[in-house]
């Protein structure tokens, strides 16, 4: 099932993002998170791969395992990091035969220790090239063969998600240009977008408005990360170049030593953002759980009342 079809419904679609465990640790945190949130009927579950450059293998197997265990689509985040075009095709075949039907196509963060993304010598430099490769496979064009459709090939049928950046991507100084790069991913075959998290709903809404203006006509799903700690929001803001709105920033500074006050403030802020997004007709919300279900649970309890 292509998950982009789910966004045709009038009701907002809630989905989750989970993290593979580090270095072969148990899957308990992933499954505990899903078990805790399953009552809200998440439409699908995305599984990150090497986000922020960390080494966390297992993404494809976990996504396929989620589908088998829960009957919910599992979506692997699939990056171009350290992969040749042939490696990518081989891994897409692993996905196909493991029942994966949707892929989150990303360039990827540079591995820890590298400050810049270095494409594989026989790989892709940008995510749009990966999107194009998947789209080609969906048309039966395999990289080992000519680009013409070959009658002996069997097309895949992957749904393709890509990343969008309401605050702009940190490597692209010009937000307009970054949006054009998003459009290139759409033109090459993406069928829905999940955004980086943001702290200001107006920034997201303006991003959507600008995207529509330049002809982006696929669902744009806001990524929301429930947070409850001062250090956490400061780290994310700095690391990902995401602005904290002035009012919230000032309030956080005033109460930064009061953990309970910060927790309450951030929970209220996130719930307020979700309510505003729903009021504006968002097709869905993707919750970045970080394998800690409590924050997402609190919000979904309110949204699903
Ligand atoms: P691209 O779309 O290729 O963009 C990368 C940069 O290149 C941008 O600055 C863009 O403006 C620029 N660019 C694009 N096309 C061109 C062009 N033709 N010419 C010049 N410049 C161009 N990372 C992980 O490693 N693992 C994950 O699991 C993961 N999950 C994510 C989930 C979400 C919801 C989001 C929003 C991001 C996620 N990321 C993840 C982070 C992502 O990999 C990084 O932000 C990465 O730096 C960019 O990936 P991209 O797919 O957006 O790349």
The three-state secondary structure class of 4 is helix
Closest-lying ligand 1 atom to the alpha carbon of residue 163: 36
Q: Does the C-beta of 168 come closer than 6 Å to ligand 1?
A: no
Tokens of 5: 């079809």
Overall average pLDDT of the 272-293 stretch:
98
pTM of the model: 0.96
Atom 11, ligand 1: residue with shortest CA distance: 178
Tokens of 41: 């009927």
Q: What is the pLDDT of residues 206-229, one digit of tens each?
A: 999 999 999 999 999 999 999 999
Structural domain boundaries in the chain: 10-303
Q: Does the C-beta of 79 come closer than 6 Å to ligand 1?
A: yes
Overall average pLDDT of the 4-14 stretch:
94
- Which residue shows structure tokens 């009957």? 71
List CB contacts of 5: < 8 A, sequence separation 6 or more.
none
pLDDT value of position 9 = 86
Q: What is the pLDDT of residues 41-63, one digit of tens each?
A: 999 999 999 777 777 889 999 99
Overall average pLDDT of the 172-190 stretch:
97
31 vs 241, residue with greater confidence: 31
Residue 22 pLDDT grade (very low, low, confident, very high; cuts 50, 70, 90): confident
CA angle 292, 296, 301 (to 5 degrees): 135
Q: What is the pLDDT of residues 229-244, one digit of tens each?
A: 999 999 999 989 999 9
Percent with pLDDT over 90 in the chain: 87
Atom 22, ligand 1: residue with shortest CA distance: 181
Q: What is the pLDDT of residues 110-128, one digit of tens each?
A: 888 888 999 999 999 999 9
10-303 maps to CATH 3.40.50.720:
no
pLDDT value of position 294 = 97
pLDDT value of position 150 = 54
pLDDT value of position 148 = 55
Tokens of 287: 């919750």
> 3-state secondary structure string, 179-242?
HHHHHHHHHCCCCEEEEEECCCHHHHHHHHHHHHHCCCCCCEEEEECCCCCHHHHHHHHHHHCC
Could you tell me if 12 and 285 are in contact, meaning their C-beta atoms sit under 8 angstroms apart?
yes
List CB contacts of 85: < 8 A, sequence separation 6 or more.
122, 123, 124, 133, 143
Could you tell me if 17 and 204 are in contact, meaning their C-beta atoms sit under 8 angstroms apart?
no
């Amino acid at each position: 099932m292509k998950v982009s079809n789910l966004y045709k419904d009038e009701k907002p679609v809630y989905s989750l993002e989970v993290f593979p465990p580090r270095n072969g640790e148990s899957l308990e945190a992933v499954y505990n998170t899903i078990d805790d949130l399953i009552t809200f009927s998440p439409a699908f579950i995305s599984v990150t791969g090497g986000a922020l450059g960390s080494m966390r293998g297992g993404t494809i197997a976990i996504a396929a395992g989620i589908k088998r265990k829960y009957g919910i689509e599992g979506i692997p985040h699939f990056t171009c990091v350290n992969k040749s075009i042939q490696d990518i095709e081989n891994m897409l075949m692993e996905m196909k035969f493991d029942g994966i039907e949707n892929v989150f196509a990303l360039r990827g963060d540079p591995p820890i220790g590298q400050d810049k993304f270095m494409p594989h010598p026989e790989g892709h430099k940008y995510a749009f090239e990966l999107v194009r490769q998947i789209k080609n496979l969906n048309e039966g064009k395999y990289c080992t063969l000519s680009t013409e459709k070959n009658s002996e090939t069997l097309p895949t049928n992957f749904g393709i998600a890509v990343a969008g950046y309401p605050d702009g991507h940190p490597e692209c100084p010009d937000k307009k240009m970054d949006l054009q790069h998003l459009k290139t991913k759409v033109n090459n075959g993406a069928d829905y977008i999940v955004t980086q998290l943001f702290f200001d709903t107006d920034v997201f809404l303006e991003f959507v408005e600008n995207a529509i203006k330049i002809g982006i006509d696929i669902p744009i799903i806001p990524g929301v990360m429930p947070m409850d700690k001062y250090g956490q929001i400061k780290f994310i803001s700095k690391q990902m170049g995401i602005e904290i709105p002035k009012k919230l920033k000032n309030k956080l500074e005033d109460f930064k030593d009061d953990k309970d006050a910060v927790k309450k403030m951030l929970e209220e802020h996130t719930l307020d953002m979700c309510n505003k997004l729903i009021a504006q007709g968002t097709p869905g919300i993707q919750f970045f759980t970080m394998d800690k279900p409590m924050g997402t649970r609190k919000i979904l309890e309110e949204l699903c009342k």
